[in-house]
Structure 1
Amino acid sequence: MTAYLMIAPMVILLGIFVVWPLLYSFYLSTFKISFYQPSVFVGLDFYKYVLTSDGFWKSLGLGVYYTLLTVPAELVLSLVLATFIKTLSGKVAAFMKTTVYLPAVVSSVVAAIIFGFMYQDQGVTNWMVGFLSIGPVDWLNDPDVVLPSIAVTGIWLRFGLTTLIMLAGLLDIPEAYYEAAAIDGAGYLRRTFSITIPLLKNVVLYLLVTECTLAIQMFDLPLVMTNGGPVDSSTTPNLYIFQRFRDFTPYATSFSLAASLLLFIALGLLSLVIFRLVNSDKSVDG
């Protein structure tokens, strides 16, 4: 009874602000909702319309592509940087942690505008690649490079937070393991793959689930930087749903609701796959 009372406030809040809106959204998605005519029950018709829409599947594919561009890079950079910070002394480590975390407090809209200026024809990015006799590159108007260009902004915004989370996991690993491995002659790579990565399994699992979910739902960066262009080559799922909601069609609301719920199901399946692939440990001995 004590345990139920302790979790009751959170369960009530989840019920009011998560479970009930989710169920009510599903209920509304079974109606033709129009601001000019009475609602008409149509069952699962709008789900069929979304599933047969080429735009929805293309946006979902772009969301997965953006995730593959950002999440592995974030995890690798975070692990390398966290390992480096761990070797520093107290004051230097504190300075590095503060510096690394700074991008996380920058508004994504501000970052999108800044990187948009950097990607211009006369921007600093083309100035830098000019030393390699490349360019100028039309970073935000070329369908082949627009999403990788946006991904760089996304990585810059997120890797600071993931670095601190990774660092917390590294500091939780007993130094005795590394000392014993060093005595046995294990090098840096052997210690990394035999000690660090296995004992960071829970941290990696958490980062994989959260970062993949956030990456597929990326909305503000493509909206501000390209508005989904050129030719829908940066229209991520949330941006696609937002654009369909703004369509001048009588039933844009119902279509958007159905697409949102299908995206919710897709994210749930993705999280399930990650949990199956990365078996978490209930506890790690310290």
Structure 2
Amino acid sequence: MLKLKKDIKSSSEVNKGTLGMRKHDALTAYLMLAPGFILITIFVIVPFFYSIAVSFTDWSFYGTSKFVGFKNYRVILTNKLFRTSLTVAIKYVLIIVPTLFIVSFLFSHVLKGMKGKAASFAKTSVYIPTVISGILAAAIFTFIYDYQGGILNSILANFGIPKQAFLKKPLISSIALSIPIVWLGFGYNTLVMLAGLLDIPQVYYEAADVEGANAFEKLIYITIPSMKNIFILITITLVTGALTEFNVPYMMTGGGPTNSNLTPIVYIFNNFKSNPTMGPTVAASLLMVIVLSLISGLIFTIIKSEKSMDA
């Protein structure tokens, strides 16, 4: 009986000690998270809710503001240029996302098969465009596409092909602007795809070889299912990036010709410069937040995230 009381007392002391350690660990965790939470509150949460309030007013930098209700949202939604910018954004998504996705996926297989110094050189080379700013890329490709002395027109002239005004024709300019955007994102997406490929256990492919599976069957039944989470990440990144593209269209054509490259962010920026009140600009920005959130949610719904096959 005495031994039982001692065991109960000892167990109680252990539980108290464990509880104390848990409280200490929890306090430490909260203290570690506090700086990040404070920064997010100051620079994200507070500005976000303040922008919602501003979107219902005619606030400006130089005077008082008054409540106008949903007027700013009606102005934006009925604006022809804003609707045009959404169409342009969808066009960019249709051009950029499949192109960059497929090219990155194929080239990641090439990198996977490379070994030694050649692989290191290829990985470094393919990543270099990622660290180049969109403004610099726009400047580079503007010189390439230049009608008078551009590199591309010089090459075409050598084959007897007339000069092309790549940035003056709506359809051609959309394709021409998509190329530097694809170039900028190619390295990052390729290396993310490569990381996903390298994370697939080789034993899966060895088992498939034993069963006599061909390369296409391995792709369909092993590679694609194993990389589903990578595909979700890249798809959301590419879609949101295409919808919010700004640097390249603004620097190369200013949204032209005839607003064929007027993306929503270029429209919002132009509205910010020309409109004396901030309400419509903020309302347009919040509408884009809603659009991006809905698209991200739709992608998550269509491509459901799952644990890896060996988890």
TM-score bin, normalised by smaller chain: over 0.9
**1:264 match:** 289
Distance 1:53 1:193 in 2: 45
Distance 2:254 2:36 in 1: 37
Shift of 1:187: 2.0
Question: How much identity, in percent, do the aligned residues show?
Answer: 41
Could you tell me which of 37, 42, 53 is aligned with 2:79? 53
Could you tell me which of 34, 41, 46 is aligned with 1:15? 41
Gapped regions of structure 2 (runs ≥ 5): 1-22
Distance 2:159 2:204 in 1: 44
**2:20 match:** none
In the TM superposition, 1:24-173 aligns within 5 A as 24-121=50-147, 122-129=149-156, 134-173=161-200
Shift of 1:118: 0.8
Distance 2:298 2:265 in 1: 21
Distance 1:208 1:131 in 2: 39
SS at match of 1:40: coil
Distance 1:7 1:61 in 2: 41
> How many residue pairs are counted as aligned between the two chains?
284
Between 149-158 and 29-38, the greater mean CA deviation after superposition: 29-38
Q: CA RMSD in A?
A: 1.8
Q: Is the 8 A contact 2:57 2:279 kept in 1?
A: yes
SS at match of 1:138: coil
Gapped regions of structure 1 (runs ≥ 5): none
Q: Is the 8 A contact 2:226 2:308 kept in 1?
A: no
Shift of 1:214: 1.4
Change (3 A) 1:90 1:59: same
**1:243 match:** 270
Could you tell me which of 272, 278, 282 is aligned with 2:303? 278
**2:15 match:** none
Change (3 A) 1:279 1:131: farther
Q: Which has the larger radius of gyration?
A: 2
**1:214 match:** 241
TM-score (norm 2): 0.86
Q: Which of the pair is proportionally richer in helix?
A: 2
TM-score (norm 1): 0.93
Residue identity in the other structure for 1:151: S
Shift of 1:131: 6.7
Distance 1:78 1:144 in 2: 24
Cα deviation code 1:228-276 (max 9, x no counterpart): 11111111000000001111x432x211111000011000001011111
